[in-house]
Amino acid sequence: MKKKQDIPFTFGVNIPDATLDKYDNHIIRTLSSMQGQYFDTESYEAMLLEDDQVLYEVFEIKRPEIAGELLTGLSVVHPGKVGDEFFMTKGHFHTVLETAEVYYCLQGEGYMVMETPEGDWAVEELRPGRVLYVPPRWAHRSVNSSADEDLVTFFVYPGHAGHDYGTIEEQGFRNLVVEKNGRSKIIDNPRWRHQEERK
Ligand SMILES: [Fe+2]
């Protein structure tokens, strides 16, 4: 008899509710977990005083966090802005840098903002039906540029990848996605400082 974890299984993705019909872990990230990440700190502090609102949620299917396994789940970024900057995820490098990730966009509109430790950067559009391949070494953050709709993506990444949030918390991403004259615009982050330059 095989161990229970090795039996194939299925699960459903509910759209437009943006949930999985089965999941093991539900992560809720609120405004207060994004300290220092938004450019407009004044707006950030003012919003936080008002309400520590939910920015995004992640529903995870638990599997052993080892090479050979795949971790899957649903990421739901809610619509909204801090100042002119759209709601976004914390963003991370994988602890094991040489690991990739696939995102499949199911609902909404937005961007994946990415960069490497070497300072290369890329921004790709997310919309329903688009698949994004994030190669090894690229940090990634999803940004919801819709005024009223959740950005929902399904993700798959290697079990041993791990998350390094600290590097991004310190240096930020090189690009910001802001609203300008009713449209989304990708701009340089004036506060971005490359890891190498800080040394
Ligand atoms: Fe990732």
pLDDT tens digits along 149-180? 999 999 999 999 999 999 999 999 999 999 99
Q: How far is the CA of 157 from the centre of ligand 1 (A)?
A: 7
Whole-angstrom CA distances from 79 to 144, 152, 160 are 6, 11, 31
**What is the model's pLDDT at position 16?**
85
pLDDT at 197 over 80: no
Burial tier of 130 (Cβ tally within 10 Å: 0-12, 13-18, 19+): middle
Q: How far is the CA of 161 from the centre of ligand 1 (A)?
A: 8
Average pLDDT, the chain: 94
Q: What is the mean pLDDT of residues 87-95?
A: 98
Q: How far is the CA of 94 from the centre of ligand 1 (A)?
A: 6
Protein residues within 5 Å, CB atom, of ion ligand 1? 101
**What is the model's pLDDT at position 199?**
47
Residue of 107 and 190 predicted with greater confidence: 107
Q: How far is the CA of 114 from the centre of ligand 1 (A)?
A: 11
Question: What does the alpha-carbon distance between residue 47 and residue 82 come to, in Å, rounded to a whole number?
Answer: 8
Instruction: Give 195's pLDDT tier (boundaries 50, 70, 90).
Output: low
Q: How far is the CA of 96 from the centre of ligand 1 (A)?
A: 10
Tens-digit pLDDT profile for residues 112-153: 999 999 999 999 999 999 999 999 999 999 999 999 999 999
* Residue-wise burial string across 177-189, b where 16 or more C-beta atoms lie within 10 A, e elsewhere: bbeeeeebeeeee
Q: What is the mean pLDDT of residues 68-94?
A: 98
Assess contact for 19 and 11: CB atoms under 8 A.
no
Tens-digit pLDDT profile for residues 41-79: 999 999 999 999 999 999 999 999 999 999 999 999 999
**What is the model's pLDDT at position 2?**
59
- What is the total residue count of the chain? 199
**What is the model's pLDDT at position 178?**
97
Question: What does the alpha-carbon distance between residue 143 and residue 90 come to, in Å, rounded to a whole number?
Answer: 10
Q: How far is the CA of 58 from the centre of ligand 1 (A)?
A: 12
Q: How far is the CA of 46 from the centre of ligand 1 (A)?
A: 30
Tens-digit pLDDT profile for residues 52-61: 999 999 999 9
pLDDT over 90, % of the chain = 89
